[in-house]
Amino acid sequence: MCDQTFVAVTFGPCESCGLASPLMNIYVKTDPLNYCSFCVEVMACKGLQRGETLTSLKNESESLKKKLEEERVKLNDVELHQVAEKIEVLGALSLKTRRVLKGHSNKVLCMDWCKDRRRIVSSSQDGKLIVWDAFTLNKEHGVSLPCTWVMACAYAPSGCAVACGGLDNKCSVIPLSLDSNENLAAKKKSVAMHTNYLSGCTFTNSDMQLLTSSGDGTCALWDVESGQLLQSFHGHTADVLSLDLAPSETGNTFVSGGSDKKSNVWDMRSGQNVQSFESHESDVNCVKYYPSGDAFASASDDSTCRFYDLRADREVAVYQKDSIIFGASTVDFSLSGRLLFAGYNDYTINVWDVLKGTRVSCLFGHENRISRVRVSPDGTALCSASWDNTLRIWA
Amino acid sequence: MTIRTARQDRGQHFRPRMHCFKKLEAIVVEMQDQKSGVKGSEQKLNVSTIPHVISKDVIAWIANKMKSTAETLVFGTMLVAYGYIYPLQNHKKLVMCNDASLYRFQTPYFWPAQKWVAEDSDYAHYNHLHELLNHKWDFIVMQATEQYAGKERKKPDRVVFDCQERAYWIVNRPPRRTHSAMDVGPERLIDPNTDENIFFQQAIMRSKVKSSVSLGLVKYITTYKNHDPFLAPCLPSNPWLSDNDSYWNLNMRVDAPTKMRVERWSFSFFELLSDLRGRDDFKVFLKKEFENLAFWEAAEELKWGTASSMSTKAETIFRTFLAPGAPRWINIDGRTMGLTVKGLDHPHRYVLEAAQTHVFLLMKKDTFFRYLKSPVYKEMQKKALNPEPHNFQSQLDQNAQNRSAGIHPIILWQQEEEEKAKAAAAAAPIDVKAMMSKIDRKK
């Protein structure tokens, strides 16, 4: 458990604007400041101060970066695969396609499992959202949305609603019903408003709050009932492409990955960026927490997947192979965290041994790039969504 | 045919999304090496003779280069899909087949690089659309003359060039209803760098843990090894394999949980609480002393509830758990109590964080371990089911036809909400004044 999350968030008057709100604790040249997240943002956007030039700022940034790396290296003693030497090698995995879900007429961009372990919601470029019972292959609901490229969709924890969004710059929540013929699009409710496309969305521990990431470089937390913005998260310098909520008991943090090659960990209460990792060489397409919440994995266009330990604050493994040249677009862990499933743009899914760093298996079958892989909530199956208009269930 | 104007710019001129192009190009150059590359030969196709034709030697070359056989066909297909190699027969289907199909290397002029964007006017010219584009014809002729200026073409070169050009357009303007590898989805933006120095200062100030201490990751994997359906078989059977969903039915909120499930409750307090059946069992153990758990549940509801309900919930929680003399007063230290009460002046969703964490840690470090050693838990372990593994291989067809629909999550949710409401009503602290006034009225 990351000790960061046990720190009670300070709440009180901001030292800059005076309004009462959750405060971020930041340091400017070793002086501590307690500002609300809005004032921090204003400060960060201020132009050059007196005595600063672009080059001097850049030099300062470089030297700080180097110092940070030195600190990290000092604490580095044992590599992950060294500790894993004592662990036995995995047996051969025989994963086969058990279901093929056909029904979308264009690329499937996103999918999510329901907590009942068998229902799935999927969204596609043709503007359709389909809710399936993957076990019986029954399509329970089909919703037509007015926008194309619905890039994000999520199932609510109660199983009573779904959220989706994409090029319409919004995230909408649609309540589901027991009646398959009901027109669900009429009950659609816009919750989140961004200034660019929506790249990811997820419900928090209840149906009442929604966390979104967008191409406008920010993430945001929304109250579903009122549509109110509860907290916004600024810090990425390019599109945010993906986010994942921590599975820990306090559930106060989430991680996001963006086109600026960074993966950032955020405190949901104050909006503060608590950790950041920049070791990829290209856009970070997807981030996913390790089941215990102490680590996360990321997939990138540079064809590697990387594993970061949050308590040690550094990258502990890189999953790559010379024969894998195409970008990885999505990752997910198996229930125990031993296996990492990664979907690539060369139409395959590679299964990696998280501890040993070796590839265990390669899954073929899709006819276009994989947009999303997700392990079911009880770990019994893997679902993959692809630009070949289908979804596959592997077990 | 219509001319599509605002076409999505496949050039991605903001920056290279296709990080793989450089690597691919390096490999294709290697493949064409005179000595160590793929051997080509002259082949007769229809009437003309085409030079430098390659066949499935490509696949063998790739397998040798990559030192693995798993992805060779996939990699070959990628080379064809991106236009580095084009098929001579079946030219519309951009895959590499492991048979006698013939291929050729595409000329570098037509490689999918960023500098050369496939313009619509070029495509129009290719498709003889000058008849429809009379007003643009002069412009198009000018472009064409520029392109072919000074290049004289002989007949065999013409054939080759035609093949190459056709292949290029199949990759960049794929026929309707086919999948294209060149599709990259919506554009991504990049903003100029903003000030990151504030962040770096904080990062250095933060405390970090030594690597070996934090390798509890390995411990987690070892603990859950037998519970991972990809690594160990689940009992009675994995529903996706046997088409029998008894595994899911056994793991609902039933009276008799399975042994694996009961074992999982002992892994961590969080596991016990997240499984509602486990939480029920924990409540049985707590009997009368469950104000801590009730407070934790109430604080969770506050944190994840709607914004409008927050102040009322905070009020209720204060009256029930924190006020001096409250019916379900929780025993937390003075400092936390002080912080919480002060925070309740401006109720926000995290106002109970400190108190909730304190209570959670208390339960985790003390009550949880007492529970694991208690007769309640030991009874549960004895009662737990150990289902027989299904022998489903012979019944696969039958099972596939009888897949049951299960209970809809909405119905389950409604049932749970009803139960919660009943429990809340039964456990609500008795309002003495109201009781007394009721009795008075009866009199």
- Mark whether B15 and B159 lie in a shared domain: yes
Answer yes or no: is A261 within a domain.
yes
Answer yes or no: is B443 within a domain.
no
Specify the pTM.
Answer: 0.85
DSSP labels, A250-283: S--EEEEEETTS-EEEEETTT--EEEEE---SS-
pLDDT over threshold 90, residue A32: no
Indicate yes or no: CB of A283 within 8 angstroms of CB of B17. Answer: yes
Give the mean model confidence (pLDDT) for residues B48-52: 73
Residues 6+ away with beta carbon under 8 Å from A344: A303, A324, A326, A327, A328, A329, A350, A369, A370
- Mark whether A25 and A160 lie in a shared domain: no
Number of domains in chain A: 2
Give the mean model confidence (pLDDT) for residues A343-360: 94
Indicate yes or no: CB of A64 within 8 angstroms of CB of B24. Answer: no
HSE, CB side, 13 Å, CA atoms: give it for residue A314.
Answer: 24
Cα(first)–Cα(last) distance of chain B, in Å?
90
Residues of chain A with C-beta less than 8 angstroms from the C-beta of B406: 116, 118, 133, 135
DSSP labels, A176-215: --S-TTS-GGGG-EEEEE-SS-EEEEEE-SSTTEEEEEET
Nearest CA in chain B to A66: B200
Facing residue for B221 by CB, picked from A76, A355, A378: A355
Percentage, residues of chain A above pLDDT 90: 63
Instruction: Give the residue from B367, B383, B399 where a domain finishes.
Output: B383
Answer yes or no: is B212 within a domain.
no
pLDDT over threshold 50, residue A342: yes
Substitution target in A93, A135, A138 with the highest count of B β-carbons within 10 Å is: A135
Please state, in angstroms and rounded to a whole number, the distance separating the CA atoms of residues A54 and A11: 35
Please state, in angstroms and rounded to a whole number, the distance separating the CA atoms of residues B93 and B111: 18
Residues of chain A with C-beta less than 8 angstroms from the C-beta of B191: 217, 237-238
Which parts of chain A fold into alpha helices (H)? Answer: 37-45, 54-74, 80-83
Answer yes or no: is B183 within a domain.
no
Please state, in angstroms and rounded to a whole number, the distance separating the CA atoms of residues A254 and B196: 20
| Largest Cα span, chain B | 116
Q: What is the pLDDT of residue B13?
A: 39
- Mark whether B29 and B160 lie in a shared domain: yes
Give the mean model confidence (pLDDT) for residues A169-181: 91
Please state, in angstroms and rounded to a whole number, the distance separating the CA atoms of residues B136 and A299: 46
Indicate yes or no: CB of B307 within 8 angstroms of CB of A225. Answer: yes
Counting other chains too, the contacts that B77-82 makes at CB distance below 8 Å and 24 or more residues apart are: B77/A347, B78/A325, B78/A326, B78/A346, B78/B24, B78/B181, B79/B24, B79/B28, B81/B171, B81/B180, B81/B181, B82/B21, B82/B24, B82/B112, B82/B171, B82/B181, B82/B182
Answer yes or no: is A258 within a domain.
yes
Residues 6+ away with beta carbon under 8 Å from B364: B269
Facing residue for A44 by CB, picked from B74, B198, B204: B198
Instruction: Assess A149–B contact: CB distance below 8 Å, yes or no.
Output: yes
Indicate yes or no: CB of B186 within 8 angstroms of CB of A67. Answer: no
Name the band, by pLDDT with cuts 50, 70 and 90, for residue B151.
low
Separation in Å, CA of B40 to nearest CA in chain A: 24
How high does pLDDT run on average in chain A?
Answer: 88
Indicate yes or no: CB of A337 within 8 angstroms of CB of B307. Answer: no
SS3 string of B103-131?
Answer: EEECCHHHCCCCCCCCCHHHHHHHCCHHH
Block residue for tokens 């009429």? A186
Residues of chain B with C-beta less than 8 angstroms from the C-beta of A6: 357
- Mark whether B259 and B121 lie in a shared domain: no
- Mark whether B166 and B255 lie in a shared domain: no
Name the band, by pLDDT with cuts 50, 70 and 90, for residue B261.
very high
Name the band, by pLDDT with cuts 50, 70 and 90, for residue B92.
confident
Q: What is the pLDDT of residue B165?
A: 81
Q: What is the pLDDT of residue A53?
A: 67
Nearest CA in chain B to A106: B177
**Which token pair is A249?**
């008991």
* Domain that includes residue A257, residue range: 82-394
Q: CA nearest A369: which of A383, A355, A387? A: A387
- Domain containing residue B167: CATH number: 1.10.10.10
Q: Which of A268-277, B112-121, B426-435 has the lowest mean pLDDT?
A: B112-121
Give the mean model confidence (pLDDT) for residues A60-89: 76
Q: What is the pLDDT of residue B419?
A: 85
Facing residue for A160 by CB, picked from B210, B221, B410: B410
Q: What is the pLDDT of residue A285?
A: 95
Facing residue for B240 by CB, picked from A84, A367, A395: A395
* Domain that includes residue B154, residue range: 11-173
Facing residue for B218 by CB, picked from A20, A68, A87: A87
Indicate yes or no: CB of A8 within 8 angstroms of CB of B74. Answer: no
Give the mean model confidence (pLDDT) for residues A248-273: 88
Nearest CA in chain A to B181: A368
> Is B129 buried (19+), middle (13-18) or exposed (0-12) by CB count in 10 A?
middle
Cα(first)–Cα(last) distance of chain A, in Å?
31
**Element containing residue A235 per DSSP (H, E):** none
Interface of A with B in 338-377 (CB under 8 A): 338-339, 345-348, 354-355, 362, 364, 367-369
Separation in Å, CA of A246 to nearest CA in chain B: 13
HSE, CB side, 13 Å, CA atoms: give it for residue B411.
Answer: 6
Answer yes or no: is B217 within a domain.
no
Answer yes or no: is B180 within a domain.
no
- Domain containing residue B237: CATH number: 1.10.167.10
Q: Report how far apart, in Å, the C-alpha atoms of B282 and of each of A9, B262, B320, B330, B333 are.
A: 30, 12, 21, 18, 24
Facing residue for A269 by CB, picked from B300, B343, B350: B350
**How many contacts (CB atoms, under 8 Å) link A and B?**
314
Going across the sheet that includes A138-144, the strands are A108-113, A119-124, A128-133, A138-144
| Largest Cα span, chain A | 68
B195-229 pLDDT, tens digit each? 455 556 555 555 555 555 556 888 899 999 999 99
Please state, in angstroms and rounded to a whole number, the distance separating the CA atoms of residues A351 and A365: 14
Helices B291-304 + B310-317 axis angle, to 10:
170
Separation in Å, CA of B426 to nearest CA in chain A: 24
Q: What is the pLDDT of residue A107?
A: 94
**Which token pair is B44?**
């007769």
Facing residue for A336 by CB, picked from B211, B221, B240: B221
Q: Which of A43-57, A158-172, B92-106, B196-210 has the lowest mean pLDDT?
A: B196-210
Q: CA nearest B236: which of B267, B266, B258, B254? A: B258
- Mark whether B114 and B254 lie in a shared domain: no
Instruction: Assess A203–B contact: CB distance below 8 Å, yes or no.
Output: no
Answer yes or no: is B401 within a domain.
no
Indicate yes or no: CB of B186 within 8 angstroms of CB of A167. Answer: yes
> Is A178 buried (19+), middle (13-18) or exposed (0-12) by CB count in 10 A?
exposed
Residues of chain B with C-beta less than 8 angstroms from the C-beta of A118: 239, 245, 248, 406
Position with higher pLDDT, B312 vs B135: B312
Q: Report how far apart, in Å, the C-alpha atoms of A336 and of each of A53, A180, A360, B221, B403 are.
A: 50, 36, 15, 5, 28
Percentage, residues of chain A above pLDDT 70: 90
The angle formed by the CA atoms of residues B84, B89 and B90, to the nearest 5 degrees, is: 85
Please state, in angstroms and rounded to a whole number, the distance separating the CA atoms of residues A118 and A102: 16
A290-333 pLDDT, tens digit each? 999 999 999 999 999 999 998 888 898 999 998 898 999 999 99
Q: CA nearest A299: which of A310, A289, A286, A281? A: A286
**Element containing residue A289 per DSSP (H, E):** strand A284-289
- Mark whether A134 and A203 lie in a shared domain: yes
pLDDT over threshold 90, residue B159: no
**Contact B350/B261 with Cβ under 8 angstroms?**
no
Q: Which of A298-307, A341-350, B425-434 has the lowest mean pLDDT?
A: B425-434
**Contact A376/B245 with Cβ under 8 angstroms?**
no
The ipTM (two decimal places) reads 0.85
Instruction: Assess A1–B contact: CB distance below 8 Å, yes or no.
Output: no
Q: Report how far apart, in Å, the C-alpha atoms of A108 and of each of A51, A370, B18, B221 are.
A: 52, 9, 21, 32
Instruction: Give the residue from B123, B141, B173 where a domain finishes.
Output: B173
pLDDT over threshold 80, residue A106: yes
Residues of chain A with C-beta less than 8 angstroms from the C-beta of B229: 335, 378-381, 395
Q: Which of A35-49, B236-250, B285-299, B368-382 has the lowest mean pLDDT?
A: A35-49
**Contact A354/A338 with Cβ under 8 angstroms?**
yes
Residues 6+ away with beta carbon under 8 Å from B152: none
pLDDT over threshold 80, residue A179: yes
Indicate yes or no: CB of B189 within 8 angstroms of CB of A215. Answer: yes
Interface of A with B in 319-338 (CB under 8 A): 321-327, 334-338
- Mark whether A30 and A104 lie in a shared domain: no
A196-210 pLDDT, tens digit each? 999 999 999 899 999
Residues 6+ away with beta carbon under 8 Å from A114: A120, A121, A155, A159, A377, B409
Give the mean model confidence (pLDDT) for residues A217-224: 94
Q: What is the pLDDT of residue B344?
A: 82
- Mark whether B112 and B44 lie in a shared domain: yes
- Mark whether A88 and A231 lie in a shared domain: yes
Please state, in angstroms and rounded to a whole number, the distance separating the CA atoms of residues A350 and A160: 33
Separation in Å, CA of B94 to nearest CA in chain A: 11
Q: Report how far apart, in Å, the C-alpha atoms of B437 and of each of A108, B73, B319, B327, B429 are.
A: 63, 84, 21, 19, 16
Please state, in angstroms and rounded to a whole number, the distance separating the CA atoms of residues A376 and A353: 19
Answer yes or no: is A277 within a domain.
yes
Number of domains in chain B: 2
- Mark whether B244 and B374 lie in a shared domain: yes
Please state, in angstroms and rounded to a whole number, the distance separating the CA atoms of residues A43 and A64: 19
Please state, in angstroms and rounded to a whole number, the distance separating the CA atoms of residues B336 and B338: 5
Which parts of A75-221 fold into alpha helices (H)? Answer: 80-83
Q: What is the pLDDT of residue A52?
A: 61
How high does pLDDT run on average in chain B?
Answer: 77
Answer yes or no: is B201 within a domain.
no
Residues 6+ away with beta carbon under 8 Å from B375: none
Name the band, by pLDDT with cuts 50, 70 and 90, for residue A354.
very high
Pairing state between β B103-105 and B85-87: antiparallel
**Contact A392/A381 with Cβ under 8 angstroms?**
no
- Domain containing residue A238: CATH number: 2.130.10.10
Separation in Å, CA of B10 to nearest CA in chain A: 16
Name the band, by pLDDT with cuts 50, 70 and 90, for residue B192.
very low
Instruction: Give the residue from B383, B407, B430 where a domain finishes.
Output: B383
Going across the sheet that includes A189-193, the strands are A152-155, A161-165, A170-175, A189-193
pLDDT over threshold 60, residue B6: no
Answer yes or no: is A213 within a domain.
yes
**Contact A280/A304 with Cβ under 8 angstroms?**
yes
**Element containing residue A232 per DSSP (H, E):** strand A229-234
Instruction: Assess A43–B contact: CB distance below 8 Å, yes or no.
Output: yes
Helices B353-362 + B291-304 axis angle, to 10:
140
**Contact A388/A104 with Cβ under 8 angstroms?**
no
